[in-house]
Amino acid sequence: MAEKNKKNHVKAESEMKKQRHLQIGMLFMSVICALPAMAQDYDIVINNGRVMDPETNFDGVRNVGIKDGKIAAITKDAIKGKETINAEGHVVAPGFIEGHQHATDQFSRKVNLRDGLTTQMDFESGAGDIAKWYADHEGKTQANYGMVVLATLARVSVLDGPEIAALGNDMGELFRGVVGAAAAKAQKEGRKPGWSSTLPNKEQMTRIMSYVDEGLRQGALGVGVPVGYMTTGVTQYELYKYQELAAKYGRVTNGHVRFAGVRPPNEGQLGVQEMMANAMVLDAPFMASHLNSNMDWEYTIPMINDAREKRGAKVWGEVYPYAAGSTIASADMLTESGMAQMGITYSDVANLDGTRWDKAMYEDVRKNDPGRAIVIYNNPPEAIAKWLAMPGVVVVSDGMAIQDEKLNYYPWDSPYEGKSVHPRSAGTRAKVLRMVREEKIMPLMEAISKMSYLHAKYFDELGGIPHFKTKGRMQEGMDADIVVFNPDTVTDNSTYEPGKGALPSTGIPYVLVNGVVVVKDSEVQKVFPGKPIRFPVMEKGRLDQISIEPRTFDPNQS
């Protein structure tokens, strides 16, 4: 009996040991599972910030752990990392996204980072040689970057000459060399510039489309068609063909549409309808540029929203928070008839030094300096809050390259002071956030969404760009593109005054791109973590899937 009791005691003790081992094992596992909330398991930790996620409407004080370029944890638990940011009193939001930033030089991008912009792309214009453009920016770009292929440079190459097109490869370089050289060559030959005014014949049209097709084959995000600069040169048929070719790749066509203004017969709404109708016929994505500058945003924005939400069209539009626009002196909208259409006159146009035009300056600049960047005061300031608050639109800057009087770029470490440019290049997002605080134009979450998540949603779900599935969100597993700002102090400082156009925004002390701190204590760091937003290069283009049968035109016809 005693032996039996001894055996039972040993057995019970063995079972107790097993239980203790099991409990210790479970405790060990719980510690292991809790490790993300302990020790230096993260590259960067952002503590005590008000985390705001526009997709889920989450809004709460949390700690954020970042590992390998991703958001690894959003938690109430205390966490540590190799680097710690104290975000107490600040909002921690998805990095801002932009599909309408023309500036691709390093200084302009640095100014954009001070405004919280972590993904900078140009969909309105774009680049000509896509392979070269991406190669030139690899490893040299602080924010994420992407481009569409620019139909304008295709037309320049074919209708003005490849030697003219070779003078520039994006919007900043267009202003600097291409536009002026094309105008000079046309003037010497006694004709109008080919890119803006010539109706191509079938052979020319095929070559133009081949140029665009090559850009798409090389991974361009879509096609940029600023038809508003080529109103007498691009037929409705040619415009349709651009959109059809982009649709063959399932990619976006962006349109600076044909008309601006509110007076019939050529109202801004008609230009939007032209490209939106093509998109709906083709079941293709279409993005309408800066609807506020078309001047009839009260009608076009609801029309686009209805097409998308009630008809399933892949269409959306954008606005920016400024009453004045900026363009080049030779723009079609600045013809006498174009200004009448918009209801403006010479004095509503100004040089970047603040000088207002008169008739004499109008004639001189448009003839002798067609690529000059100018400002057009074409909207009442009190309308800004109204179009920003319209549902469905995204906020962009339409930022211009920050260049000197000779249209040269500034070096990266150039001072912010002394630069004359439209203030939207530097202050767009901070201005929206300041207006939210001071004028209560919309909830803060909605403003953040219009500058981050809504871009990502449209580019992914409508535009088919897969990179945006993991952008524009403050969620675990998403890209660590993050902006940290003080909602009580964030302010735009850039103005229209000469020398003050590039003054950086304040109240945005930290910006991260792909998990790398790019702005630290409001100082831009000289690091370049930006990644390309680009489709894979294809072996073969898709131009052979469409036919080109336009009417025959005299190539010298004006």
Quote the CA–CA distance of 191 and 380 in Å, as a whole number: 37
Q: What is the pLDDT of residues 200-230, one digit of tens each?
A: 999 999 999 999 999 999 999 999 999 999 9
Residue 556's pLDDT band, with cuts at 50, 70 and 90, is low
Reported residue count of the chain is 558
Peptide bond between residue 265 and the one before it cis (omega within 30 degrees of 0): yes
Looking at the DSSP bridge assignments, the partners of residue 506 are: 491
Burial call 136-151: b when 16+ CB within 10 Å, e when fewer:
ebeeebbbbbbbbbbb
Q: What is the pLDDT of residues 89-148, one digit of tens each?
A: 999 999 999 999 999 999 999 999 999 999 999 999 999 999 999 999 999 999 999 999
**What average pLDDT does range 487-499 have in this prediction?**
97
Quote the CA–CA distance of 15 and 8 in Å, as a whole number: 10
pLDDT at 19: 54
Per-chain mean pLDDT for the chain: 92
In degrees rounded to 5, what are phi and psi of residue 3? -65, -40
Question: Quick check: 305 pLDDT over 70?
Answer: yes
Share of the chain above pLDDT 70, in %: 91
Pair type for strands 58-67 and 70-75: antiparallel
pLDDT at 173: 85
Helices 236-248 and 202-217: crossing angle, nearest 10°?
Answer: 30
Nearest to 414 by CA among 499, 353, 354: 499
Residue 28's pLDDT band, with cuts at 50, 70 and 90, is very low
Residue 371's pLDDT band, with cuts at 50, 70 and 90, is confident
CA distances from 460 to 53, 144, 455, 479 (A): 17, 16, 8, 14
pLDDT at 555: 54
Residue 557's pLDDT band, with cuts at 50, 70 and 90, is low
pLDDT at 478: 98
Pick 16 or 306 by higher pLDDT: 306
Q: What is the pLDDT of residues 390-408, one digit of tens each?
A: 999 999 999 999 999 888 9
**What average pLDDT does range 536-548 have in this prediction?**
97
pLDDT at 154: 98
pTM attached to this predicted model = 0.91
Nearest to 492 by CA among 555, 433, 405: 433
Share of the chain above pLDDT 90, in %: 82
Nearest to 204 by CA among 553, 544, 557: 553
Residue 509's pLDDT band, with cuts at 50, 70 and 90, is very high
Which of helix, strand or coil describes residue 480?
A: coil
How many CA within 13 A on the CB side of residue 414? 21
Question: Quick check: 23 pLDDT over 90?
Answer: no
**What average pLDDT does range 353-368 have in this prediction?**
93
Q: What is the pLDDT of residues 438-472, one digit of tens each?
A: 999 999 999 999 999 999 999 999 999 999 999 99
**What average pLDDT does range 382-391 have in this prediction?**
98
**What average pLDDT does range 500-524 have in this prediction?**
98
Q: What is the pLDDT of residues 133-153, one digit of tens each?
A: 999 999 999 999 999 999 999
Q: Which two tokens stand for residue 346?
A: 């010479």
- Amino acid letter, residue 516: V
pLDDT at 254: 98
Question: Quick check: 26 pLDDT over 50?
Answer: no
Quote the CA–CA distance of 26 and 179 in Å, as a whole number: 71
Residue 14's pLDDT band, with cuts at 50, 70 and 90, is low
Please report which helix (H) or strand (E) contains residue 236, including its range: helix 236-248
Question: Quick check: 31 pLDDT over 60?
Answer: no
Q: What is the pLDDT of residues 160-188, one digit of tens each?
A: 999 999 999 988 888 778 989 999 999 99
